Every structure is written in structure tokens, then in C-alpha cells.
């Protein structure tokens, strides 16, 4: 699991390679990732948009921006959590994702929270030690 906490908002990510949705012979690899967002602060916040940076195993970067997540713009009161699952296809056997959520608090103040960088590794990806 990967974790980041920004402005008292915790984001946990659990990626999972989906062999049943992948076809390595055609350079098609798919991951699901489950994200849990926990409001550990004292103010109510709303997730209004996302910004993803997806890098494949060749270093090719794709940026994705959009409203909310999985069609929702959840409101999290202090102590609330929101969990969702989405997915990411790549043409390489490995890669990584990172990003941010734009939040707005109960006073209308906007701020970004970090989504931790997380690894996308399939069984076909070679292991490299640095």
C-alpha cells in the first residue's frame, strides 16, 4: 500500500495487476487501483477534480485531468472516508502513477492534496535493483 497525507487528508492506494484484462502478447497491460481518502482534519472538504501523471515503462508521460473521481465529487466531513476503484491500461509491463486531488473546504478555499506515487508492475516486468 502507498500512503500520503496532505492538509490532514490521507490518501491510500492499493494497485493490483489484472491478468484477466491484460494480453502481454499484444502489449496490453491493465491495473486496477483502489483509493481510500480519509479526512483526518477538522473541516469539511469536497474533492472537485483530479490530475494524474501516468508514466509507462518507456518513460512516456500521459496527464489526465477531470472533474471528481469515478463520476463523483465526494464531500468528506471530519472523520469521513471515501473509497473507490478505477483502472489504468498501459502498453508496457510496468509503469507508475502519481497525482493530486483538488479539494475545496467549507469556506470555499481550494487546495491540492497529494496522491502518492505508486508502482504498476506486472508479472512480465523484469526486476531491476538500483
Residue 80 belongs to a domain with what CATH number?
Answer: 2.60.40.1470
pLDDT exceeds 90 at position 102: yes
Is residue 48 domain-resident?
Answer: yes
pLDDT exceeds 60 at position 127: no
What cell numbers appear for 36 in the block? Answer: 481510500
Residue-range definition of the domain harbouring residue 27 = 2-121
Is residue 126 domain-resident?
Answer: no
Do 114 and 4 form a contact (C-beta atoms < 8 A)? Answer: yes
Specify the DSSP class assigned to residue 74.
Answer: -
Is residue 81 domain-resident?
Answer: yes
Alpha-carbon gap, residue 22 to 27, rounded angstroms: 8
Is residue 130 domain-resident?
Answer: no
Is residue 89 domain-resident?
Answer: yes
Number of domains in the chain: 1
Is residue 79 domain-resident?
Answer: yes
**Residue 28 forms beta bridges with which residues?**
23
CB atoms within 10 A of CB 117: 14
Mean pLDDT score, 84-89: 97
Q: Give the DSSP H/E element, type plus range, for residue 15.
A: strand 9-17
Is residue 58 domain-resident?
Answer: yes
Mean pLDDT score, 44-72: 97
Amino acid at each position: 500500500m502507498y500512503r500520503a497525507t496532505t492538509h490532514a487528508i490521507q490518501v491510500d492506494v492499493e494497485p493490483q495487476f489484472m491478468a484477466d484484462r491484460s494480453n502481454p502478447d499484444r502489449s496490453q497491460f491493465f491495473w486496477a487501483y483502489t483509493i481510500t481518502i480519509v479526512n483526518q482534519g477538522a473541516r469539511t472538504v469536497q474533492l472537485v477534480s483530479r490530475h494524474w501523471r501516468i508514466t509507462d515503462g518507456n518513460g512516456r508521460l500521459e496527464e489526465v485531468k477531470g472533474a471528481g473521481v469515478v463520476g463523483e465529487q465526494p464531500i468528506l466531513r471530519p472523520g469521513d472516508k471515501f473509497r473507490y476503484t478505477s483502472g489504468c491500461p498501459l502498453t508496457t509491463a510496468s509503469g507508475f502513477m502519481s497525482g493530486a486531488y483538488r479539494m475545496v473546504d467549507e469556506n470555499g478555499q481550494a487546495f491540492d492534496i497529494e496522491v502518492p506515487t505508486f508502482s504498476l508492475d506486472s508479472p512480465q516486468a523484469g526486476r531491476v535493483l538500483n
